[in-house]
Amino acid sequence: MSHRKEARVFYQAEKKQFHLSNDKISYIFKVSSDGKLLHLYYGKSLPNRDYSYLIEMHHRPMTTYRQENDLLYSLEHLKQEFPEYGSTDFRHPSISMKQENGSKITNFTYLKHKIVDGKPKLENMPATYVEEDSESKTLIITLKDNLTNVEVELLYTIFTEFPVITRSVRVLNKGTETQIIEQLASLSLDLPDADYDWIQLSGAWARERNIKERSLQQGIQSIESTRGISSHQHNPFIALKRKQANEHQGEVIGASFVYSGNFLIQAEVDTWDVTRLQVGINPFGFEWRLLPNEVFSSPEAVLVYSDQGLNGMSQTFHQLFRTRLVRGEWREKNRPVLINNWEATYFDFNEDKLVSIAEKARDVGVELFVLDDGWFGERNNDHAGLGDWFVNEKRLPKGIGSLAEKIRSIGLKFGLWFEPEMVNKDSQLYKEHPDWLIHTPNRKEHHGRNQFVLNFGVEEVVDYIFEQMCKIIDESKLDYIKWDMNRPLTDVFDHRLDFNQQGEVFHRYVLGVYRLYELLIAKYPHVLFESCSSGGGRFDPGMLYYAPQTWTSDDSDAIERLKIQYGTSMLYPVSSMGAHVSIVPNHQTNRITPIETRGNVAFFGAFGYELDLNKLSENELAIVKEQIKFYKKYRSEIHNGLFYRLRSPFTNDNETSWMVVSKDQKIAIVAHYKILNEVNRSYQRLELKGLNKEMTYRIDGQLYSGAELMHAGMVISDASSGQINEQNPRPETHDFDSRIWILTQEER
C-alpha cells in the first residue's frame, strides 16, 4: 500500500502533548502541570506516541523552583517553547513586556489551541504561503497571562512536502492597561545539547555572505543588524550542523528570518549544554506600545531540518523560497537576459547613446534594457535629484516615454532604476517636505552617499512616492524595476510619535517599505522587480516575497563572486541572485578576467550584462552571443533544478565547483573554476552529486554511468597536469580559468 504524504498535527489530550510531523520530521512538545510549554523533540520523523519521558527533572543546587516544597520543577533546567525570564528561568526569554507599574515579569500559560488546514496569512508582512490547504497544517496555541489579560498566539505551520516548520507570534492585549513589548522572538527552540558548529553568512559591502563557521560554546553566540536593514554585515540566517556533518551528509538545522530590518539570531548555551536558538526582531532600539484591544504580530521564522548535510538544507530552502515565498507572474517565468547601462555610462548618457547600446544588445540576444541611475530630476551626480521621480529633461529632452518606445521598437523590454526610500537635500521633494526625513530634532543629520532616508513609517510619504512612481511606470509602460536602497538608517526618530513610541520607528519603516511594494505589485503585476541595497545590503527572505531576484553584490568581479554566490546559495535559490558579466578591468577589484569565466560565473543567477557592448571586439561579441544562447537554452534547468555545492572557495583557496541537476535528472550542468594556474599539477577528479546512478550520461561525446560519475568521479585534469606535447594535447589553461560541462541522459 502506498504511503500518502501529509502534514499532521497530533494532540494527545490525556498527555497534553502536541506532535507536528510529516514523512521527514517531527516537532514535539507538551503542556506542563502548571501550563508551560515544554519542548520534547525536534528532528527526524518519529511515530506518534507519548514522549513525556524526555522531560528530565532533577534537583540541582542553587536553583529556584516553581512550587513550594518541590525541589524538582525549575524552568532553569527545562527546554521550553515560549520561555520567560524571572520566574525560575534565567536565560534569554521569548518575550519581555513592561507593564504600567514597571514590572517585566509575566506568566503565560496554556489557554487553548486549534488546528487548521493550510496556513493563515501574516498581515502586512511577507511570509511563506500555500496554494492549497492540503499543503500544510497549522497549530495555533493561545497562552494567557492572567494578571495583565494579555494573550499570545503561537503559530506553528508544518508543510507536507518540505522538512520545514514556520513560527510566528501574535500578542493580543485584552487587558485594560497599555503594555510595552520590549522583546519578542518569533522562534525559540531549546536543543538538548551543544554539539554543533554554528554557521553564519557575514561580510561587508562587495564581499557579502561569506561563510563563517565556529563551534558552539557555553555563553551566547549571535549575529544581528542595528542598521534598519538586514545588512551587508550579517544575513538573517544561521545553520547548526553536527560536528561530523558536511555538505552532503549529517544533521543540520537551518533558521532564517523573513524580515528586512533589524534582527537578532542567537544561540545561548547554558552550563548544562542546553542550546537555546532564538530568531526575532532585534530588541536593541525596539519597543512597541500595545494599547488595549491592539495586536502586534512578529515576522516569520523558518526552521529547516536536514539529515543530508548542508546541501540538503539549502535545497529545502531553495525549493521553499522559489515556490512558496516568491509569488506572482515571475515566480515561474524565465527571467529575461538584461543589460544595465550603469558601468557602461554612469551619469554620462543621452537617448542616442542608450539606444546605441540597446541596438547592439538586441543583436547579441539580450531581452531587457535597464536604465540605471541618472534619468530623473537634477540628477547630474549623487548629490542631487533623489526624491524627484520625473524625467531629467536635460539628459532626456524627449521624455522617458520616448526612450521606452524606442527601446521597445528595437525589440527589447524596458526597465528603470529607482531609489524610492531616499532623498537628496538638493531636490524639490526636500524643499517642499523637509520634515519627511528620518531625523532627530535639534541634532545634526548624518548622510550616507550624500542622501537621507525618507520616513516610510508615515503613510503620506509612501502614498506620495507611489503616485510619483506610477506616473513614470504608466508613461514608460515599464517591464522591470530595479529598486535600490543605498544606505542604512541613522538619527532614527519620528516627531509624530509619542516619547514611548520611538522604539517603533525602525519596524514602522520596514512595514512602509512592504506597503509600497504591495501597492505597486497590486497595480502592476506584470512588472519584474529586482531589489538592491548597494548590492547585497538587503538580500533577505522578506525582500524575495516582493522581488523574486536581488542584485547579489555591487562586486561583479567573477573571482570575488565565487565566494559571494557560493555563500549566498547556502540559503537562497540561484534564480534569486542577480549576476552580470561586467567590464574589465573590473570596477571594484581592477582585475582582468576572461569574458568566458565572467559568463561561466554569471550563468548561475539571474543573468545579464553591465558594460557597453559597442566597446567589445568582434571576437568578444561572438562569445557574448554564444553565452546568451547557452543561458537561454539552460536557464530553466539552472533556476529550477537542484543546486549542489561541490568544492568550496572557503576551504580551497584555488578552486570552486558547483552543479545543477534537472528535476528529472536528465540534464546536469557542472561548473569548475580555477583561480591561479599551476605547474605539473596533480591529476584531478570531481565527484558529482544528484545524478541517477542507473542512467547513462553523455559528456563531450563519451558515455558514463551516473554511479561512476558520483563515486569514481569525473576527470577534470587540465593542461597544467603534465607537460603538453604532440602525444598529450590538452586545451590551453590560464589564470582565472573555468569550464562548464553539460551532462545529458543517453536514451536507451
Which residues are tagged catalytic? Answer: 484, 554
CA 452 vs CA 16, 115, 373, 423, 696: distances in Å: 53, 46, 16, 5, 59
List, as one string, the DSSP characters of 190-223: EES---EEEEEEE--TTS--EEEEEE--SEEEEE
CA–CA dist 519, 525 (Å, integer): 10
Picking from 635, 648, 23, 601, the residue whose alpha carbon sits closest to that of residue 311 is 648
List, as one string, the DSSP characters of 580-593: EEE-SS-TTT----
CA–CA dist 127, 166 (Å, integer): 9
Determine which helix (DSSP H) or strand (DSSP E) holds 595, and give its type and residue range: helix 595-602
Residue type (1 letter), 495: H
Q: Which residues contact 127 (CB under 8 A, 6 or more apart)?
A: 121, 166, 168, 258, 299, 300, 325, 545
In this structure, are residues 325 and 258 in contact, taking their beta carbons and an 8 Å threshold? yes
Picking from 535, 507, 360, 509, the residue whose alpha carbon sits closest to that of residue 438 is 509
Determine which helix (DSSP H) or strand (DSSP E) holds 357, and give its type and residue range: helix 351-364
Which pairs count as long-range contacts for 377-385, CB under 8 Å and 24+ apart, including other chains? Answer: 377/427, 377/428, 378/426, 378/427, 379/347, 380/347, 381/347, 382/424, 382/449, 382/450, 382/451, 383/424, 383/426, 383/450, 384/424, 384/426, 384/427, 385/424, 385/426, 385/427
CA–CA dist 586, 261 (Å, integer): 31
CA–CA dist 414, 371 (Å, integer): 8
- DSSP label at residue 390: S
What are the grid coordinates assigned to 467, written together?
A: 503616485
In this structure, are residues 504 and 287 in contact, taking their beta carbons and an 8 Å threshold? yes
Picking from 181, 117, 115, the residue whose alpha carbon sits closest to that of residue 148 is 181
CA–CA dist 315, 571 (Å, integer): 8
What are the grid coordinates assigned to 227, written together?
A: 542598521
Residue 179, SS3 per DSSP: strand
Q: Cell 519603516 identifies what position?
A: 509
Could you tell me whether strands 655-661 and 667-674 are parallel, antiparallel, or unpaired per DSSP bridges? Answer: antiparallel
Give the number of C-alpha atoms closer than 13 A to the C-alpha of residue 244, restricted to the C-beta side. 3
Picking from 431, 329, 311, 417, the residue whose alpha carbon sits closest to that of residue 373 is 417
